[in-house]
Amino acid sequence: MSFMENKIFTQQIKQYAALLELKGENPFKLRAYHFAIEAIDRLEVNLMDLPLSVIEKIGSIGKAIALKIEETKEKGIFHQLKNLLEEIPAGVVEMLGINGLGAKKINILWKENKFTTITQLLEACENNTLAQIKGFGEKMQANIYQDLLFKQANSAKLFFSKATIYQQMIVDYLSQIIDNELIITTGQFRRKLEIIDCLQIFVAIDDNKTKKNQLVQHLDECNFLIKNKQGTGMFVWRGELKENALKVEIKMPQKNRIGSEIYLHSAGEKHLTKIEKNKTILQHLTEQNFNKESDVFDYFKYPIIPVEAREGYAEWKWIEDKKVPNLLITNELKGIFHAHSTYSDGKNTLEEMVLACINLGYDYLGITDHSQSAFYANGLQPSRIKIQHQEIESLRKKYPNFYIFKGIEADILNDGQLDYEDDVLKTFDFVIASIHSNLKMSEEKATERIIKAIENPHTTMLGHSTGRVLLRRNGYPLDMKKVIEACAKNNVIIEINASPYRLDLDWRWVHEALEKGVLLSINPDSHETGTLSEVKYGVNIGRKGGLTAEKTFNTKTTEEIITYFANKKRKL
């Protein structure tokens, strides 16, 4: 685990590297800074406690960076960074985050065309002047505009994992004056959606006016919230987080209909628009007052549906059967597939990853480093695969109660082929096929490409199917129905990539995959030991689509998995 306190140094070095990039500094120098950041991230000690003489001996950190760290300790910032921050406008630095814009292009905008803010860039796209600038064109303008709009639309949204921190902060703050049991988080957060744009919390304080006033005053005075005066009323306090403008709603409904309100704010639109007795659920609950959520289930004669699954996908069948299956829980996972080590772009060694899995109580790890065409990630050449396999075999002996599966995350090339010959692919116990390059494809081409990979007899699992990165880029368009059908037909497991930044397969397709009989695997795609526990976010996604332990590949025992892989290989 890295030390949180070291973040101040890595943040500054990262910022400095970005500024140097804009200055056109030697790319190898920039890489040196990034290696230093990775080295600091790996440290298990606080840099504050180390003297200069020790810091400069750390691998990837030399005299120059060690001195910058020392100066930061003393003055809070090193002078080279301070100078550049005065020279380069913040808006220009921000442009580095825009897809399609690199240092060279940004310099044309800044130096030759006096662009210093994102707003100016947006306006230039809107009035078609960006395309007139030498080095830019119609297509580039369109791409930049699209990316700017995408970022604007996502600016006040958070990943579920990040929203958790703020949800807890608000609940803690409310509990200073309200009994904990009366505070109920609802909305997107309670449904465990992948992206949160509003944190909604109910406070069940009856109709006690004094208490309400006290609560409103408490919220008004909160130092991490900003009140929205227009939005705030009798039954709701509205505002946003100071830090990132995420919307916050604190609801104080009438006691006699708090059950109706909680239900209404704990289900997706598709669920609420379902017709029951000639009216939508939404209409029923708007008219009927229930003071307990469970009364709503009684009224509709529904079994209790777990909140995550109130989305209008999997639950209707359960209602019909009057029985809800036991949805998957994190404790039922017996092992991990899809993790990287220092053989490719992971931060921890293979043995460290193994030990971390053992410590978390898992029985096996399916290690999957990157394949050879992932140059940027130090992908494995066949010769290095052999070395890794030897290490796996010796680790199997060293840890006899744990099992390591030999896997690979093989790149799906442009034409749908995997990037090794068959005689290399057959040396793995299993193969995850993923797309990492050439992400701009038509739906037709992307679907064809991915189905060809699914049909490859070596493919065991499909990795992050759409390639999306939440809040950063959409995935390539896919005919997911066809993809799921191809997986069913070819006995290919679909991964739910549990990284909170991906969560791909999207939960809206989980139910469909289960219907078609496809197995799903909750995979952390870990690049370090610290993110193995992110499988819990993948479990949330599975539950939203009705996933049970039975349909989850990595709830199987080691022996069952060995048999499964052996059977798959028999068909080669």
Partner DNA sequence: GCCGTTTTCGGCCCGACTGTTTTCAGTCG
Question: On the CB side of 275, how many CA atoms lie within 13 Å of its CA?
Answer: 3
Query: Closer CB to DNA, residue 323 or residue 440?
Result: 440
Least distance from C-beta 445 to DNA, angstroms? Answer: 10
Q: Return the residue of 224, 235, 316, 376 that touches DNA, per CB under 7 A.
A: 376
Q: In the window 438-497, what residues touch DNA (CB under 7 A)?
A: 438-440, 473
The amino acid at residue 554 is N
Query: Closer CB to DNA, residue 32 or residue 355?
Result: 32
Least distance from C-beta 31 to DNA, angstroms? Answer: 6
Least distance from C-beta 205 to DNA, angstroms? Answer: 48
Whole-Å CA distances, 467 to 114, 169, 289, 374, 439 = 36, 32, 44, 15, 8
Least distance from C-beta 497 to DNA, angstroms? Answer: 14
18 near DNA, judged by CB under 7 A: no
Q: In the window 274-333, what residues touch DNA (CB under 7 A)?
A: none
Q: Return the residue of 35, 173, 300, 302 that touches DNA, per CB under 7 A.
A: 35
DSSP of 341-361: -TTTT-SS-HHHHHHHHHHTT
The amino acid at residue 251 is K
Query: Closer CB to DNA, residue 63 or residue 75?
Result: 63
In this structure, the number of other CB atoms found within 10 A of the CB of residue 343 comes to 19
CA distance 73 to 84: 19
Query: Closer CB to DNA, residue 143 or residue 228?
Result: 143
Asked whether the beta carbons of 343 and 369 are under 8 A apart, the reply is yes
Q: Return the residue of 83, 244, 359, 414 that touches DNA, per CB under 7 A.
A: 414
101 near DNA, judged by CB under 7 A: yes
Query: Closer CB to DNA, residue 59 or residue 231?
Result: 59
Least distance from C-beta 345 to DNA, angstroms? Answer: 9
Query: Closer CB to DNA, residue 124 or residue 193?
Result: 124
Asked whether the beta carbons of 338 and 432 are under 8 A apart, the reply is yes
- Site size with DNA, rule: CB under 7 A: 46
**Number of helices followed by number of strands (H, E) in the chain:** 25, 16
Q: Give the three-class secondary structure for 431.
A: strand
Query: Closer CB to DNA, residue 103 or residue 355?
Result: 103
CA distance 534 to 541: 12
Asked whether the beta carbons of 163 and 201 are under 8 A apart, the reply is no
CA distance 41 to 10: 8
Residue 512 sits at the vertex; the CA angle it makes with 506 and 513, to the nearest 5 degrees, is 80
Contacts of 419 (CB under 8 A, 6+ apart): 371, 372, 373, 410, 411, 412, 413
79 near DNA, judged by CB under 7 A: no
Query: Closer CB to DNA, residue 247 or residue 468?
Result: 468
36 near DNA, judged by CB under 7 A: yes
Asked whether the beta carbons of 373 and 411 are under 8 A apart, the reply is yes
Q: In the window 253-272, what residues touch DNA (CB under 7 A)?
A: none
One-letter-per-residue 3-state SS of 69-115: HHHHHHHCCCHHHHHHHHHCCHHHHHHHHCCCCCHHHHHHHHHHCCC
The window from 33-41, 187-195, 257-265, 310-318 that contacts DNA (CB under 7 A) reads: 33-41
29 near DNA, judged by CB under 7 A: yes
The window from 64-72, 402-410, 418-426, 552-560 that contacts DNA (CB under 7 A) reads: 64-72
403 near DNA, judged by CB under 7 A: no
Q: In the window 122-151, what residues touch DNA (CB under 7 A)?
A: 131, 134-141, 143
527 near DNA, judged by CB under 7 A: no
Q: Return the residue of 61, 193, 215, 307 that touches DNA, per CB under 7 A.
A: 61
104 near DNA, judged by CB under 7 A: yes
* Chain residues that interact with DNA, rule: CB under 7 A: 26, 28-29, 31-33, 35-36, 58-66, 80, 98-106, 131, 134-141, 143, 375-376, 414, 436-440, 473
